[in-house]
Amino acid sequence: MCDTIVATPEVTQNRHMLFGKNSDRESDECQNLVYNPAANYVAGDTVKCTYLTIPQSSNTFSSVLSQPFWMFGAEMGINEHGVMIGNEAVMTRIKPESTGLTGIDLLRLALERSKTAREAKDTIIQLLETHGQGGNCGYRHKLTYMNGFILADATEAFVLETVAKEWAWKQIHGVWSISNRISLEKDYEARSENLIEWAIKKGWCKSEADFNFSKCFSDKIITWGARGNGRQCDNRNRLIERQGKLTLQDFMGILRQHATSSSHWHPTQGLRMTVCAHATNNLTRGTQTVSSMVAETFPGHSAIFTTGASNPCISPYFPITISPKGLPSSYHSGGEEYSDKSFWWKAERLHRNVMIKFDHLHDSLSEEVKNLEQSLYGDRISAESPQLEYTE
């Protein structure tokens, strides 16, 4: 389960676009930071996605991705033009095909092929209508789902939600959040031609006037089990509370929250998934936040921060750039097995030690993380700041 948030320039402190996402996946599923350079191709070239091979674009833009180690695509990322995308699994009455482009594939392809968020939205729609979506997106445990997206650049942001080859979208003005459920109801600006007709044929609504995207297509039981509505509302309320003053620090804080008023929260407390998710039981908390990313952009400039590791409540956000040297030379990707070289796996070992002694270690480690972030970038966390570099 995941959470994606966005705030458009008119409601942020610096009048810049803000974006953030927590990627929640299986607790042993390493997620790497990957820089992909721009490239040119010739007619007839193809690209092998997770399950499908499709025609390649004549050129692709450089990007930084947060990528499950075994997949082609990414959970979130940003390209050289400041286009930012995060995807969400949505559980619908329509079951996905056994193969197709995954939502994670669609995200990467859109970043590689789009100069703006609007182009990225249209790219996903075109790929969706041509190739369809489907295939297993689970690592050790099979999981299939449809997809929703938040797409943003320096000036525009959109929410796009899909079922099979059908879709609906609207432009975002202000704040928005998505959390594993169809968020659009009657408020979409555009839709696929057959979306409402399909719902009428299924008996889920009587007419266009009666049509509600979320109510018609959501699998109510699985959507309820994912507890997406609670997280979506919590995130949106926190964004609304800070409208006009929103900063990247606010986005980091939202993605670090455990959505509880208790001052003594523990990962085993309750059954509800939290925004910063800890895998503590296989029934309702089988996944955890395996990486987190926030970004701020205005025309020509971007500031990108990521944990590159599980659980932002105990992991620092560090700056990266979209360049061959955007990741530190000491950064090493990981795979299926634990590796002492892998940044993600070393951080995961720390996370699990904290989980064992959560009451004794969590608060003190969180304080150390705050101090480390202060030493890294202090109050200079903005797209207008001078270039931030690593200290390895």
**Active site members:** 2
- Under DSSP, is residue 136 helix (H, G, I), strand (E, B) or coil? coil
117-131 vs 103-113: helix axis angle to the nearest 10? 130
Residues in the chain: 392
Per the CB < 8 A criterion, the answer to whether 252 and 289 are in contact is no
Number of Cβ within a 10 Å radius of residue 371: 11
Number of Cβ within a 10 Å radius of residue 167: 25
Question: Which residues sit opposite 39 in a β-bridge?
Answer: 60
Element (H, E) at 354: helix 343-356
CA atoms of 206 and 219, how far apart (whole Å): 19
Per the CB < 8 A criterion, the answer to whether 94 and 216 are in contact is no
Residue ranges with strand state E in 38-145: 39-40, 46-48, 53-55, 59-60, 63-68, 76-79, 84-90
Per the CB < 8 A criterion, the answer to whether 96 and 135 are in contact is yes
Distances in Å between the Cα of 59 and the Cα atoms of 48, 51, 147, 196 are 15, 22, 25, 36
Question: Which residues sit opposite 295 in a β-bridge?
Answer: 19, 304
- Under DSSP, is residue 235 helix (H, G, I), strand (E, B) or coil? helix
